[in-house]
Amino acid sequence: MDIAVINLATEPDRWAHTRRQFQALGLQALRHEAVPGHLLPVQERAGLYSAELNRRQYHKPLRAGEIGCYASHLALWRRLVASGERSLAIFEDDVALDPTLPAALAQVEAMDLPWDVIKLYGRAQEQVHHRLPCGPGLELVRYRRVPSHTCAYVISRRGAHKLLATRRPFGRPVDIDLRHWWENDLALYGLLPYPVRLAEMSRQSSIDSRRGCAGLGMRLHKLALQAGYTLHNWQALRRLGRPPAAAPGPALAGAADAAARRDVA
C-alpha cells in the first residue's frame, strides 16, 4: 500500500518531521504537494468549489486554505484511480504516528470486507454502531456519528470512484463531506485503537483556521444544518441495519457472525 503525505511547499519542516516518523517505523511515505488555495486560478477554483452549493450545505463560505486542502485530497483520489492500486493511505503533515501503524496498515491491506474509507484518527471515545474484530487487538467500527478530521485515513479505489463522482464541485470542507457518508453510499469505518494522533504542530494549522459563526443568521443556519445532519444520519443508520452476512475474509474471520448475534447499539 502506498502512503502519501499532503504538504505545502512553504512547510518543509513539517514534511521533514513527518517523513522521519515514517522512516523510524520502516515505512516509506511519498510527499504530495498540497494545493495552495489562494493561488488557484479563478477558472480552476470555480470547477472545484461551488459557492451556491456551499450556501445550501454549509454555514459559511470556505476559505482559500480549506478549498486548497480539499483540492489536495481530490488530487490523491484521482491518483489512486489512475494507478489501478487497491488502496492508498493518506496523511496530512501534522500527525504523530504510533508504533502500531505498520501492523494496522497490514491488517487493512489484508481485509476482504468491502470498504471505502477507514479512518486512522478520531475522537478519544467514539459513538459506535457496530464492531468487527480485525486482527490482534484491533477492531473496525461503523460509527454512529463519523468524527471530523482527514489527517489520516485509508481509501480504497472503489471509495475514490464514489467520491470523485459526487464531490466535484464541493461546498463543504473535505472532512465534513466525509461525515455525510450516506450521500454517496460510503462504507466508512474507523480502525481502533487509532494508530495516529495529532502532533503538537497541529495547533498551528497550515491552512486557514475555521472561523466561528458571526451573526444570528449564520448561527441559525448552522443549527438547521446540524439538525438535518442528525436526522439524515439516523435514517441512514436505520437503513444500514446489522453488519453484512457476507464472509469478510481471513482478517475478519467469524466477525460478521459474532456481530450479528449482538444487538446493534
pLDDT for 246: 40
The arrangement of secondary structure in 2-260, i.e. its CATH architecture, is Alpha-Beta Complex (3.90)
Strand partners, 2: 88
Residues whose CB is less than 8 angstroms from the CB of residue 65 and which lie 6 or more positions away in sequence, other chains included: 37, 38, 205, 206, 207, 208
Residues whose CB is less than 8 angstroms from the CB of residue 241 and which lie 6 or more positions away in sequence, other chains included: 264
Domain boundaries, the chain: 2-260
**pLDDT tens, 132-182?**
988 889 999 999 999 999 999 999 999 999 999 999 999 999 999 999 999
Over pLDDT 70: what percentage of the chain?
86
Q: Grid coordinates representing 69?
A: 486542502
Residue range 12-22: mean pLDDT, rounded: 97
Q: What pTM was computed for the model? A: 0.87
Residue 214 in this model has a pLDDT that exceeds 70: no
Residue range 124-131: mean pLDDT, rounded: 93
Residue 206 in this model has a pLDDT that exceeds 80: no
Find, among 22, 37, 23, 29, the residue nearest to 69 by Cα.
37
Residue 256 in this model has a pLDDT that exceeds 50: no
Separation CA 152–CA 191 (nearest Å): 11
Q: Grid coordinates representing 19?
A: 517523513
Residue 106 in this model has a pLDDT that exceeds 60: yes
Residues whose CB is less than 8 angstroms from the CB of residue 192 and which lie 6 or more positions away in sequence, other chains included: 126, 138, 139, 140, 141
